[in-house]
């Protein structure tokens, strides 16, 4: 009896289309964001995360239309991130129907942005995405913040950064392990645990999920409040329902 | 055509609320409005709220909507959502400000020292995600919604009602707090039905059909009570 742990599929969007292998059977249009969002909703997704990976600036506006279309038909929370640079970007995504906007690189370049966005729109809709990488040989273990999709090191201590962003008004932290992202070796549980213990806002664990046990570990060992994954869902290796069943069998509360 | 006014006082995005209402009530006209006359003319009122309550109160007053809201809350089906619930009460700890004073009670912050579950794990604030709502009484608004259904919450403050008669729903985090209240034609919830998938859409659908009566036995729209 209480708050359930959330399972969040993440969709990569570019040019208004969902990309990466979509293995849903019987989709009329394999890259249609609305159809895919609806499928995840039917599987029991607690929330959806859209990551705008559009490189060219002239196509950036398309994510707004994607969110408008999805929000008109899928009635669960939507988080949108990728390329959010200004208060205007945050506003246009919220107006399109996003419930939360995730700020990553721009927060490092301009920490005031998070403060301003939280003051203007409320902490409940401001997520700060932290891409963290282990600092080799550090003891106790430390992590460093990376930006620009994990390509640029910043020299900033990740945990310190998380605390600072909470202070600035972030309502939630989307925490991605750059060491684990794409490896299928599971979440970086030490990283997740360190953030969950140090911060008072919810932590979404991301990066590295390979199988259903990784989700259980993310909560049981990492202390995550929510679990995000992309490829295991997109490639049809797991459904959200599979994950929730396994979580429930392990005694973790989920929405069924 | 019946009209539902979604009150817009500049605090956040109301698109999802409007879309969800249109989804469950295609036969109704849904207007997002900051005009007191629309509120006076509408058959039903949805009173949402996002962000911080002091900002919400200030913006409501800046648009001259306090009076129209108070009048509407006394005469037609009225649904408060999230901060829209909190604003109906006397006072909030958030910014130490007065609310509309339509219902007796005070809005309080989740106290940091109590935010542990029974195993000692830290509970996060904001209370964000899907939690169970236990129905304290039969009500037309709960029709067809299973007791203990999960709804989507995002908030750091909750209402401590002064009159237990108001309580329509209770949620645990980690202590029991009031997540739905009702009196006469007012029903208000701390969660976001517009983001709560089928249970949320059902609640909105019930609202669109609710006659505003608190006595379920007299509610002709449903015939029998939901217990």
Rounded CA gap, A125 and A119, in Å? 11
Contact A241, A249 (CB under 8 A): no
Rounded CA gap, A76 and A130, in Å? 24
Cβ-nearest to A3 among B16, B127, B197: B127
Query: Mean per-residue pLDDT for A78-94?
Result: 94
DSSP bridge pairs for A102: A81, A127
Measured in angstroms, the CA of B194 and the nearest CA of chain A are apart by 6
Give the model confidence (pLDDT) of B40-81 as tens digits. 999 999 999 988 899 999 999 999 999 999 999 999 999 999
CB contact under 8 Å between B23 and A3, yes or no, is no
User: Which parts of A4-86 fold into alpha helices (H)?
Assistant: 33-43, 62-71
Cβ-nearest to B152 among A5, A73, A77: A77
pLDDT value at residue A22: 59
What are the structure tokens assigned to B86, written together?
Answer: 């909190």
Rounded CA gap, B12 and A93, in Å? 11
Task: Provide the angle, in degrees to the nearest 10, between the axes of the packed helices A189-198 and A158-168.
Answer: 40
* Residues ≥6 apart with Cβ < 8 Å to A52: A13, A14, A60, A63, A80, A81, A82, A83
Q: Nearest 5°: phi and psi at B70?
A: -65, -45
Residue A82 is given by DSSP the state S
Would you list the DSSP string of B133-172? EEESS--GGGTT--TTEEEEEEESEEEEES-GGGEEEEEE
Give the model confidence (pLDDT) of A129-141 as tens digits. 999 999 999 999 9
Cβ-nearest to A200 among B125, B131, B197: B125
Rounded CA gap, A250 and B17, in Å? 35
Rounded CA gap, A125 and A87, in Å? 13
User: What is the bridge-based pairing of β-strands A143-147 and A126-134?
Assistant: antiparallel
Rounded CA gap, A127 and A20, in Å? 24
Residue A6 is given by DSSP the state E
Q: Which of B56, B82, B127, B155 is catalytic?
A: B82
Rounded CA gap, B212 and B42, in Å? 14
Rounded CA gap, B140 and B192, in Å? 18
Respond yes or no on whether the N-terminal peptide bond of residue B6 is cis (omega within 30° of 0).
no
Give the residue numbers in B contacting A (CB under 8 Å), as ranges.
Answer: 12-13, 15-16, 19-20, 23, 50-52, 112, 115, 117, 121-132, 150, 152-156, 172-174, 192, 194-197, 200-201
What are the structure tokens assigned to B119, written together?
Answer: 């195993």
Residue A24: pLDDT band by 50, 70, 90 thresholds? low
Residue A21: pLDDT band by 50, 70, 90 thresholds? low
Rounded CA gap, B195 and B49, in Å? 14
pLDDT tens-digit profile, chain B (227 residues):
899 999 999 877 788 899 999 999 999 999 999 999 999 999 999 999 988 899 999 999 999 999 999 999 999 999 999 999 999 999 999 999 999 999 999 999 999 999 999 888 899 999 999 999 999 999 999 999 999 999 999 999 999 999 999 999 999 999 999 999 999 999 999 999 999 999 999 999 999 999 999 866 544 444 444 44
| Nearest to A200, CA basis, from A237, A167, A233 | A167
Rounded CA gap, A157 and B32, in Å? 45
Residue A190's Cα: distance from chain center in Å? 18
Rounded CA gap, B173 and B130, in Å? 11
Rounded CA gap, A233 and A42, in Å? 13
Asked if A15 is an interface residue toward chain B (Cβ–Cβ < 8 A), one would say no
* Sign of the C-alpha dihedral computed for residues B141, B143, B148 and B153 taken in this order: negative
Neighbours of A14 (CB within 10 A): 19
pLDDT value at residue A27: 65
Rounded CA gap, A200 and A236, in Å? 34
pLDDT value at residue A23: 57
CB contact under 8 Å between B172 and A2, yes or no, is yes
Rounded CA gap, A152 and B145, in Å? 49
Give the model confidence (pLDDT) of A182-221 as tens digits. 899 999 999 999 999 999 999 999 999 999 999 999 999 9
Rounded CA gap, A63 and B99, in Å? 38
CB contact under 8 Å between B128 and A125, yes or no, is no
CB contact under 8 Å between B200 and A75, yes or no, is yes
A-chain CB neighbours of B125 within 8 Å are 200-201
- Please say if the pLDDT value at position A28 is more than 80: no
Residues composing chain A = 256
Rounded CA gap, B139 and B20, in Å? 21
| Nearest to A35, CA basis, from A11, A52, A6 | A11
CA separation, residue B126 to residues A222, B55, B154 (Å): 19, 18, 6
Residue A16 is given by DSSP the state T
Phi-psi region of A23 (alpha: psi -120 to 50; beta: other; left: phi over 0): alpha
């Amino acid at each position: 009896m209480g708050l359930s742990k959330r399972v969040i599929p993440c969709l990569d969007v570019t040019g208004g289309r969902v990309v990466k292998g979509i293995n849903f059977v019987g989709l009329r249009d394999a890259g249609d964001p609305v159809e895919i969002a609806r499928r995840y909703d039917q599987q029991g997704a607690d929330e959806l995360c859209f990551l705008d990976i559009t490189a060219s600036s002239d196509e950036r506006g398309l994510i707004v239309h994607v969110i408008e279309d999805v929000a008109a038909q899928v009635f669960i929370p939507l988080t949108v991130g990728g390329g959010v640079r200004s208060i205007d970007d945050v506003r246009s995504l919220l107006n399109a129907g996003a419930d939360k906007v995730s700020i990553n690189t721009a927060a490092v370049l301009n920490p005031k942005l998070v403060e301003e966005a939280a003051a203007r729109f409320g902490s409940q809709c401001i997520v700060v995405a932290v891409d963290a990488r282990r600092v080799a040989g550090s003891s106790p273990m430390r992590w460093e913040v990376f930006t620009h999709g994990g390509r640029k090191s910043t020299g900033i201590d990740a945990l310190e950064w998380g605390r600072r962003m909470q202070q600035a008004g972030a309502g939630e932290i989307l925490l991605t392990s750059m060491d684990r992202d794409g490896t299928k070796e599971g979440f970086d549980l030490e990283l997740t645990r360190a953030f969950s213990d140090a911060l008072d806002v919810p932590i979404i664990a991301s990066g590295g999920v390979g199988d259903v046990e990784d989700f259980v570990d993310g909560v049981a060992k990492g202390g995550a409040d929510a679990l995000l994954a992309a490829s295991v869902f997109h490639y049809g290796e797991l459904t959200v329902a599979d994950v929730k069943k396994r979580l429930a069998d392990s005694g973790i509360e989920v929405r069924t | 055509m019946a009209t539902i006014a979604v009150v817009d006082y500049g605090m956040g995005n109301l698109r999802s609320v409007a879309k969800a209402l249109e989804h469950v009530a295609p036969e109704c006209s849904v207007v997002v409005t900051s005009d007191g006359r629309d509120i006076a003319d509408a058959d039903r009122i949805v009173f949402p709220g996002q962000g911080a309550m002091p900002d919400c109160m200030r913006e409501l007053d800046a648009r001259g909507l306090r009076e129209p809201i108070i009048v509407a809350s006394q005469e037609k089906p009225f649904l408060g959502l999230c901060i829209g619930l909190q604003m109906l009460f006397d006072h909030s700890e958030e910014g130490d400000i007065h609310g509309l004073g339509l219902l007796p009670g005070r809005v309080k912050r989740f106290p940091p020292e109590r935010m542990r579950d029974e195993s000692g794990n830290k509970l996060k604030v904001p209370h964000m995600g899907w939690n169970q709502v236990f129905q304290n009484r039969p009500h037309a608004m709960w029709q067809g919604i299973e007791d203990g259904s999960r709804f989507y919450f995002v908030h750091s403050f909750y209402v401590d009602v002064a009159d237990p008669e108001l309580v329509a729903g209770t949620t645990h985090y980690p202590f029991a707090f009031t997540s739905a209240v009702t009196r006469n034609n007012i029903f208000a919830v701390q969660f976001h039905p517009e983001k709560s998938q089928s249970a949320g859409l059902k609640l909105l659908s019930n609202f669109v059909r609710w006659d505003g009566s608190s006595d379920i036995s007299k509610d002709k729209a449903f015939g029998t009570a939901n217990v």
